[in-house]
Structures are given as C-alpha cells and as structure tokens.
C-alpha cells in the first residue's frame, strides 16, 4: 500500500507494529473515561482547529491516546519521546497510522534523542505539551526566534516546572506555560499513587525478586517518594527514608518510617529508589558502604540521581545480567545492580502509571491546553497554575465515572462557614 504523507515524514522504528500498538490503545481507551469525554467534546467543539501541536511525552499507550484526543480537537499533531527509553515502538506506529506525525523510537542515543526533538520543532508548533521541559529548553536556547511564535503550552512534571520557573525567573520565558504537575488532581494522584504503583511494577517485573522483609531506602519524600515508600511498606519491606528537607523528614518519621542520612542508609539498604529531581543523591562513598547484591533504581525525571560516573569509576567490570539490570562488580568483589541504566524505572522498564491515574492527568493536560490556547492573549509569558475550576471539574468527572456521589453544602452550612460571630 502507498505510504501516507504522515508516514513518509515520520521517523519511527517499524510501521508494521501498528496493529499491536492499536490493541494497546484500545485497552487504555476502555479505562480512560475522562479522556473519552474530552475526545467527544473536542470532536464537536474543535478548539484546536487549524493549529499545530507538538507533544514531547513518554510515548506509551496513555500518551498516545492523549495525542489522538488533541488531534480530535482539530489539531495537526507531532510527537516525540521525553526519554530515550520510554518510547514504545508499537504505540508510535499506531499513532502514525492514525495520522499523527512521530519522531521517536525506543532506545535512542543522546544524539538521536536531540535530533528527534529538533525534527518535532521543525513542525513549527503553535502550542506544545512538554514533560521535563526539553521542548521549551531547546526553543529558548537554540530557536529564540521560533519561541516568539509559540502561543503557549503545558508542562507535565515536577522537574519541568523547576526548569520553567528558572527560565521565568531570568525573565526569559517567551510564552505562557501551564503547570499541570501542580494541579491537585495531578500530583496528589499521579505523583503519589501512580508512581507508588508503577515504580514497584517496574522493579518487580525487572528483578523478579521478593520485597517482603527487605530494607528499601527511598531517597526523597516528596509526592512521588511518599507513594513509593507507602507501597514498599504494603509489600512488607522495612522502609528507610532519606531527605534534605527537615519538614519532609519529620513527615516521613510520623508516617512510621526510619529516617537517616544517606551514608548511614547506604550500608543498610537492599533496594534503593531515588526520586528527588536532584543530582548525585547516591554517589561517591555511598557506593563504598553498600552491601553485596544491593539493587538501585531511579524514578526521578533525569538519569542523574544515581551517579553513574562514580559507580563506573569504582567498578572492575560491568555486564548486563538480565534485561534492564546492569551488574557492577566492585574491586572488593561486591556486586551492585542498577536497573534501567538509572533512567526512570517505571517507564524505562515498565508501562508507566496505571491508565485510570493518567486519565486524570491527561484530562488536565487536554483542558489546560484548551485554556492556554483560548486565553493566550491575556496570559503573561509566565508559569501559570491550572485554574481551580478545571481541577474541580476533573475531580467531579472522575467521581462520576466511578459512580461515587458526595455531599454538597446546605445553604445554612455555607452561611455558617462564612460567618465569624458565635
């Protein structure tokens, strides 16, 4: 059959994988009722008619469906991956088959990764959806002229928000960006319960080892760390938390976890999970203190949390012992194991968060994109919170789809809550 224009333009692994990718998309569509609702609404209202939208996200099935929902809203869509290991080639093939231009394949080199982002920006998007702020960063550092033509966009994750705020603080951000990560219906559920479940899914399926009875060290007790620690405890692990924030440290302690400095935890852990968004949180002499057989993985956005250079420097040899597990043999005979090359374990060695969780997140993405596009003239080139009414709309719709009814305030209760007199 003759190739379509989208297929000719796209750069992907193998279009013949499309039927397998379509089945993955069908499965998530059956579990993402909020996005089903947005798709129907967008098809009617066409909020993105005539626009080009570039999406840089972890390209697995849930993200694929989001891209199709934006397309249903009238946009021409191009996608690329937000991590060299999280792209699923079959999903990408199915997207191309449905008319979405894709520049992505699994396991890119760093050069290929950057080249594919560049290709996506050559698509000249009017609006963007970013996960980790790579599109925004390249637009501002290498394509400042083009950045002026972008109407606005949305950011998915904590690390991306940090980067956007740094850009805005310099006064250099050229267009409004919606901080989707910071919406209640995002971080309370996606970062906490989504990461809590999917990180353990990634670790369990990769290692096929028992968790019960082991000592798990969770590095960072933010929204993601809380979920990872909670689910480690649920599987019967003894959990240690390390932090640099005294308030989060007390929170972890009051939640029933042991809290200590990383150097002390390094000697006790059987499994280490980093989830800080910070660099070198396991580094240098931490490796010297670890037990033979210790397993390390990262769930933070970039692969900089566990220092691979320090680990490599100490290793006499490195070999892959199982898919996604590298064994570092130390000079003294100890063996340390790193999962998924230190890239976020739930996406590089798993399928990411559960569909029902990403349904809330991606409903917020879809609504925030519509909001930024419709309000582009009014919004300053800053990082903007998702308006509370959209957050509440998503929460109510989610409750509705779960068949859960909640109470509403009576008029008397409303009055009472507004009054100050006894």
Contacting positions for ligand NAD (CB under 6 A): 157-159, 187, 191, 195, 219-225, 242-245, 248, 275-278, 281, 299-301, 344, 346
Q: Is 353 in the site for ligand ADE (CB under 6 A)?
A: yes
Binding at 156: pick from ligand NAD, ligand ADE, none (beta carbon under 5-8 Å per type):
ligand ADE
Dist. CA 117–CA 184, nearest whole Å: 29
Dist. CA 63–CA 131, nearest whole Å: 11
Measured in degrees and rounded to the nearest 5, phi and psi for residue 237 equal: -80, 155
In sign, the C-alpha dihedral spanning 142, 148, 151, 157 is positive
- Tracing tokens 């570092």 back to the chain, one arrives at 328
CB of 345 to ligand ADE, least distance (A): 11
CB of 365 to ligand NAD, least distance (A): 13
The residue number whose beta carbon is nearest to ligand NAD equals 222
Q: Is 57 in the site for ligand ADE (CB under 6 A)?
A: yes
Taking CA atoms, 398 is separated from 39, 160, 203, 223, 355, in Å, by 15, 26, 29, 21, 13
Binding at 374: pick from ligand NAD, ligand ADE, none (beta carbon under 5-8 Å per type):
none
Dist. CA 67–CA 76, nearest whole Å: 10
Angle at 364 between CA 131 and CA 153, to 5 degrees: 50
CB of 204 to ligand ADE, least distance (A): 16
- 85: nearest Cα among 103, 67, 60: 60
Torsion from C-alpha of 278, 281, 282, 285, nearest 10 degrees: 140
Residues in 105-144 that interact with ligand ADE by CB under 6 A: 131
Of 274, 352, 383, 391, which lies in the binding site for ligand ADE, with binding defined by CB under 6 A? 352
Binding at 243: pick from ligand NAD, ligand ADE, none (beta carbon under 5-8 Å per type):
ligand NAD
Residue 203: Cβ within 10 Å count = 27
Q: Is the Cβ–Cβ distance between 323 and 329 less than 8 Å?
A: no
Binding at 358: pick from ligand ADE, ligand NAD, none (beta carbon under 5-8 Å per type):
ligand ADE
Residue 196, token pair as written in the block: 């809590």
CB of 26 to ligand NAD, least distance (A): 23
CB of 247 to ligand ADE, least distance (A): 25
Q: Is 63 in the site for ligand ADE (CB under 6 A)?
A: yes
Dist. CA 326–CA 318, nearest whole Å: 7
Smaller CB distance to ligand ADE: residue 55 or 311? Answer: 55
- Choices 18-26, 67-75, 351-359, 364-372 (CB under 6 A): range interacting with ligand ADE: 351-359
> What does the binding site for ligand ADE look like in residue numbers (CB under 6 A)?
57-58, 60, 62-63, 131, 156-157, 194, 347, 352-353, 358
């Amino acid at each position: 059959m003759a190739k379509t224009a989208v297929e000719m333009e796209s750069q992907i692994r193998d279009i013949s994988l499309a039927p397998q990718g379509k089945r993955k998309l069908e499965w998530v569509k059956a579990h993402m009722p909020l996005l089903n609702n947005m798709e129907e609404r967008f098809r009617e209202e066409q909020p993105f008619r005539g626009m080009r939208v570039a999406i840089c996200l972890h390209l697995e099935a849930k993200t694929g469906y989001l891209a199709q929902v934006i397309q249903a809203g009238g946009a021409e869509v191009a996608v690329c991956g937000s991590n060299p290991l999280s792209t699923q080639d079959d999903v990408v093939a199915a997207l191309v088959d449905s008319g979405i231009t894709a520049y992505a394949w699994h396991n890119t080199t760093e050069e290929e990764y950057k080249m594919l982002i560049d290709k996506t920006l050559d698509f000249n998007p009017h609006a963007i959806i970013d996960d980790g702020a790579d599109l925004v960063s390249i637009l501002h550092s290498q394509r400042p002229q083009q950045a002026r033509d972008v109407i606005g966009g949305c950011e998915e994750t904590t690390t991306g928000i940090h980067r956007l705020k740094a850009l805005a603080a310099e006064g250099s951000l050229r267009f409004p960006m919606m901080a989707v990560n910071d919406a209640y219906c995002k971080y309370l559920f996606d970062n906490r319960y989504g990461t809590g479940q999917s990180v353990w899914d990634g670790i369990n399926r990769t290692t096929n080892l028992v968790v019960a009875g082991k000592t798990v060290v969770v590095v960072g007790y933010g929204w993601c760390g809380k979920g990872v620690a909670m689910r480690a405890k649920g599987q019967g692990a003894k959990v240690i938390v390390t932090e640099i924030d005294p308030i989060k440290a007390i929170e972890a302690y009051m939640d029933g976890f042991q809290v200590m400095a990383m150097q002390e935890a390094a000697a006790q852990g059987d499994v280490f999970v980093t989830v800080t968004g910070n660099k070198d949180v396991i580094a240098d002499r931490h490796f010297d203190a670890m037990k033979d057989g210790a397993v390390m993985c990262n769930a933070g956005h970039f692969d900089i949390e566990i220092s691979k250079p320090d680990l490599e420097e100490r290793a006499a040899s490195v070999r892959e012992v199982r898919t996604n597990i590298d064994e570092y043999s130390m000079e003294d005979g100890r063996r340390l194991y790193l999962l998924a090359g230190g890239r976020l374990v739930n996406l590089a060695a798993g399928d990411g968060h559960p569909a029902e969780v990403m349904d809330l997140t991606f409903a917020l993405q879809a609504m925030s994109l519509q909001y930024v596009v419709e309000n582009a003239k009014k919004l300053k080139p800053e990082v903007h919170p998702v308006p509370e009414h959209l957050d509440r709309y998503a929460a109510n719709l989610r409750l509705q789809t779960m068949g859960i009814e909640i109470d509403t305030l009576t008029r008397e209760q409303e009055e009472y809550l507004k009054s100050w007199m006894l």
